[in-house]
Amino acid sequence: MKNLIGRLCVAGASLASFAVMFSVNPAQAASITQSISSPMSDTDWETTLGFNKFDSSLGILNQVDIAMNATVIGSGSIKNNGSSTAVGTATLSSQVELFDSNSNSLGFVQPIFTDRFRTIDSTALAAGSTRNYSSVTASKSQNFSYTDALTLAYFTGAGQGSLTAIASGVSGWTGSSNITANFSTQASAAYTVIYTYSAPAPVPGNTQAVPEPLTILGALTAVGFGVAFKRYATKVNGNLQSASL
């Protein structure tokens, strides 16, 4: 009988190990990508953008990545009103910044076109002269990643959320005085939002619900005890029959 109990304990431990191994169901990394944009418009502008929130029934959101790409197009002129050559830098630019509905910045990108005027390479702007610019263009991309609880919560939920994009013209002249600078700009931006999340791994070939590990353990243990007792009973009956002969 002691041997039987020992064997049953070993069988129970083996079944417990099997149940633990069976219950391991590692999560899988997955991602969802969506794109939104702000069309080319005269700066300064402000626009509201809608985005699809992350559905928490898909898993656990771990990271939000936002890729921003902005383009500025502009025209204008630089005039030297002085009596001597002018040195400096003409800048045609626009800054595009993205905010959540709580006015928290989610990042900005600033494409810049620059034109430098220097005596060292004979590009200084002569007295009384004007430099004109027509449809000059600049683009820039920037990526931002967020894993903090506040941002993840903002992008999680049902339906759509909103973001605000603001573009500001920041063109001008830096350098010698007596310069008149006139610029007009337009800006556009495209945004890619990527959700990286942990999704439950599917059980291969099984589309039905998987029983709890303890339920499996109990069932298998009961089967193990039943088989062991049946063998024991068979052995005892065999001994009794041998003794009676």
Can you give the length of the chain in residues?
245
Q: Would residue 109 be called left, alpha or beta, if left means φ above 0 and alpha means ψ between -120 and 50 degrees?
A: beta
Tokens 């999704």, residue located: 199
Question: What is the span of the domain harbouring residue 69?
Answer: 26-202
How does pLDDT run across 24-72, given as a tens digit for each residue? 456 799 999 999 999 999 999 999 999 999 999 999 999 999 999 999 9
Check if the beta carbon of residue 116 is closer than 8 Å to that of residue 89: yes
* Residues 73 and 109 placed together within one structural domain of the fold: yes
pLDDT at 148: 97
| Secondary-structure percent of the chain, ordered helix, strand, coil, rounded to 5 | 25, 50, 25
Same domain, 106 and 11: no
Nearest Cα neighbor of 66 from 143, 129, 178 is: 143
Low-confidence winner among 67-76, 88-97, 130-139, 212-221 (lowest mean pLDDT): 212-221
16, 31: one domain? no
Task: Give the burial string for 168-196 (b: 16+ CB within 10 Å, else e).
Answer: bbbbbbebbeebebebebbbbbbbbbbbb
Same domain, 81 and 182: yes
Same structural domain, 9 and 39: no
**140 shares a domain with 71:** yes
Same domain for 67 and 80, yes or no, is yes
Q: Look up residue 57 and give its DSSP letter.
A: G
How open is the CA angle 215-217-219, to the nearest 5 degrees? 70
Statement to judge: residues 7 and 126 lie in one domain? no
First to last CA, the chain: 24
- Is the domain of 157 the same as that of 215? no
Same domain for 134 and 76: yes
Do 239 and 218 have their domain in common? yes
**109 and 184 share one domain:** yes
List pLDDT tens digits, range 124-173: 999 999 999 999 999 999 999 999 999 999 999 999 999 999 999 999 99
* Domains of the chain: total: 2
pLDDT at 238: 54
**CA distance linking residue 140 with residue 194, whole number of Å:** 19
